[in-house]
């Protein structure tokens, strides 16, 4: 049995989910690798970077490190999974890992949206994979769908609900009349929100994700400053009730399309009709609606945040990386 050693950067909501899935589903994953590649391979987490070791007493101290260079200097570690979040030092760590010929898997949409071009170039230069299925719409396999399954299509437009926290808050306010602050607190407790939840409710998180989808669909990175961004912080219970009376619902939508050679993208709360395909996507669910020239219209729905659903997408990237090792 070949062993592929992996380092996790971060052991929070997502990192904890990745560790649990790799342990619990070891046999299933090995079987799937064998069916796909004809190889007997096991994936093994050999180091985990954290900053507060005292928080992780249940984890074997042999696995833990607070020193990133320990991971860089270990030639046997072939894949680095960045699930610590934040722009820095995460971006720098991913660049260092790829310069050391380690493949990188990440869920960090902030780092990708801000430094995607650089990260992609460094990956190409070093002939390593840079994969980020978990960074957009949680468990929905939207990145692989656009990159692989829809290769024969011009994508003309994408719209969707791509932030779990805000969809959870709006759903709670709409269906249970929960106060905004209480709904946000619940979303944080459930592990859906970013470390700074302002990134969710002011729209930045969805903006990063629609920037990534724009790049994949239209071939270029949009300037983040050109994306119209309005969060949900000013949505009042009254507005939600008024929308209901008109037979509508308020949803936090992200949109992108290319018109006259320019990417036009936005994130904003919108009133939509109850028969709209996104009207009943509730809670922390996400949905992505693609308009393609050959395939037509496609709608994907699934958990947009949370430990196991996000980790499922991270593990799918690990599965893809194996072919390169
Ligand atoms: P958490 O805050 O739950 O976990 C972060 C982990 O990273 C902790 O173990 C923390 O260790 C470690 N960490 C953070 N900074 C450092 C540092 N400088 N050095 C060493 N370790 C560090 O975050 P999440 O798991 O929620 O999110 C991780 C990433 O996944 C983010 O990019 C997020 O945007 C993305 N994501 C999250 C989703 C979710 O549902 N939560 C869904 C999709 C993507 P310590 O505790 O010791 O500080
Ligand atoms: N905070 C993010 C969300 C996590 O709520 O959608 C998933 O990217």
Q: Are 257 and 178 within one domain?
A: yes
Q: Are 239 and 151 within one domain?
A: yes
Query: Distance, CA 15 to ligand 1 centroid (Å)?
Result: 7
Q: Are 293 and 251 within one domain?
A: yes
Q: What is the pLDDT of residue 323?
A: 87
Q: Are 285 and 318 within one domain?
A: no
* Residue 288 belongs to domain with CATH number: 3.30.360.10
Average pLDDT, the chain: 97
Question: Tokens 């390593």 — which residue?
Answer: 128
Q: What is the pLDDT of residue 224?
A: 98
Is the shortest distance between the CB of 283 and ligand 2 below 6 Å? no
Confidence band, pLDDT 50/70/90 cuts, at residue 221: very high
Q: Are 254 and 156 within one domain?
A: yes
Q: What is the pLDDT of residue 309?
A: 98
Q: Are 239 and 212 within one domain?
A: yes
* Phi, psi angles (nearest 5°) of residue 30: -60, -40
Supply the residue whose CA is at minimum distance from atom 46 of ligand 1. 52
What is the residue range of 31's domain? 2-138+308-324
Q: What is the pLDDT of residue 188?
A: 98
Q: Are 156 and 78 within one domain?
A: no
H runs (alpha helix) in the chain: 13-24, 26-37, 68-72, 90-99, 109-126, 142-144, 164-175, 180-189, 198-201, 204-218, 237-245, 307-322
What is the tally of structural domains in the chain? 2
Which of 83, 143, 189, 193 maximizes ligand 2 atoms within 8 Å of its Cβ, making it the mutation to test the pocket? 193
Please provide the distance, in angstroms rounded to a whole number, between the alpha carbons at the two ends of the chain: 14
Least Cα distance to 158 among 112, 113, 212 occurs for 212
60 φψ region: left (φ > 0), alpha (ψ -120 to 50), beta (else) = beta
* Residue 40 belongs to domain with CATH number: 3.40.50.720
Query: Distance, CA 123 to ligand 2 centroid (Å)?
Result: 25
Q: Are 131 and 208 within one domain?
A: no
Cβ 42 vs Cβ 3: under 8 Å = yes
Give the burial class of 134: count Cβ atoms within 10 A of its Cβ; 0-12 exposed, 13-18 middle, 19 or more buried: buried
Which of 7, 11, 13 maximizes ligand 1 atoms within 8 Å of its Cβ, making it the mutation to test the pocket? 13
Is the shortest distance between the CB of 50 and ligand 2 below 6 Å? no
Cβ 216 vs Cβ 141: under 8 Å = no
Can you tell me which atom of ligand 2 is nearest the CA of 167? Answer: 5
Q: Is 209 a catalytic residue?
A: yes
pLDDT digits (tens, 9 = 90+) for 31-83: 999 999 999 999 999 999 999 999 999 999 999 999 999 999 999 999 999 99
Using the predicted structure, report yes or no on whether residue 293 has a pLDDT greater than 90.
yes
Q: Are 312 and 188 within one domain?
A: no
Question: Tokens 């239209």 — which residue?
Answer: 218
Is the shortest distance between the CB of 193 and ligand 2 below 6 Å? yes
pLDDT digits (tens, 9 = 90+) for 93-139: 999 999 999 999 999 999 999 999 999 999 999 999 999 999 999 99
Half-sphere exposure for 288 (CA within 13 Å, toward CB): 28
Counting ligands in written order, which one lies closest to the CA of residue 205?
Answer: 2
- How crowded is residue 230: how many other Cβ atoms within 10 Å of its Cβ? 15
Q: Report the predicted TM-score, pTM, of the whole model to 2 decimal places.
A: 0.97
pLDDT digits (tens, 9 = 90+) for 254-268: 999 999 999 999 999
Q: Are 18 and 83 within one domain?
A: yes
Strand partners, 264: 257
Q: Are 36 and 147 within one domain?
A: no
Token pair for 231: 């969060």
Q: Are 174 and 111 within one domain?
A: no
Percent of the chain at pLDDT exceeding 90: 99
Is the shortest distance between the CB of 309 and ligand 1 below 6 Å? no
Give the burial class of 276: count Cβ atoms within 10 A of its Cβ; 0-12 exposed, 13-18 middle, 19 or more buried: middle
Supply the residue whose CA is at minimum distance from atom 21 of ligand 1. 50
């Amino acid at each position: 049995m070949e062993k592929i050693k992996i380092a996790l950067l971060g052991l929070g909501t997502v990192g904890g989910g990745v560790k649990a899935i790799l342990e619990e589903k070891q046999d299933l994953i090995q079987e799937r690798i064998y069916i796909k590649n004809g190889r007997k391979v096991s994936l093994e987490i050999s180091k985990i970077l954290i900053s507060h070791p005292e928080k992780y007493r249940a984890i074997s101290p042999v696995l833990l490190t607070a020193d990133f260079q320990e991971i860089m200097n270990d030639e046997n570690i072939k894949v680095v999974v960045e699930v610590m979040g934040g722009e820095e030092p995460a971006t720098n760590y991913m660049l260092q890992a790829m310069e050391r010929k380690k493949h990188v898997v990440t869920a960090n949409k902030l780092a990708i949206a801000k430094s995607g071009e650089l990260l992609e170039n460094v990956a190409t230069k070093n002939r390593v994979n840079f994969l980020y299925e978990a960074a957009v719409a949680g468990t929905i396999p939207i990145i692989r769908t656009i990159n692989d399954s829809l290769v024969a299509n011009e994508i003309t437009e994408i719209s969707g609900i791509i932030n779990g926290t805000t969809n959870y808050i709006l759903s709670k306010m709409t269906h249970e009349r929960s106060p905004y602050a209480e709904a946000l607190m619940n979303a944080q407790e459930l592990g859906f929100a970013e470390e700074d939840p302002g990134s969710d409710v002011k729209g930045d998180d969805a903006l990063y994700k629609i920037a990534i989808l724009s790049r994949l669909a239209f071939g270029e990175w949009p300037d983040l400053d050109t994306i119209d961004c309005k969060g949900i912080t000013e949505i009042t219970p009254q507005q939600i009730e008024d929308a209901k009376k008109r037979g509508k619902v308020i949803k936090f939508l992200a949109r992108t399309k290319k018109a006259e050679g320019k990417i036009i993208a936005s994130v904003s709360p919108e009133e939509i009709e109850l028969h709209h395909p996104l009207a009943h996507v509730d809670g922390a669910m996400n949905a992505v609606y693609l308009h393609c020239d050959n395939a037509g219209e496609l709608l994907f729905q699934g958990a947009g945040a949370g430990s196991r659903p996000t980790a499922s997408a991270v593990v799918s990237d690990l599965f893809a990386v194996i072919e390169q090792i």
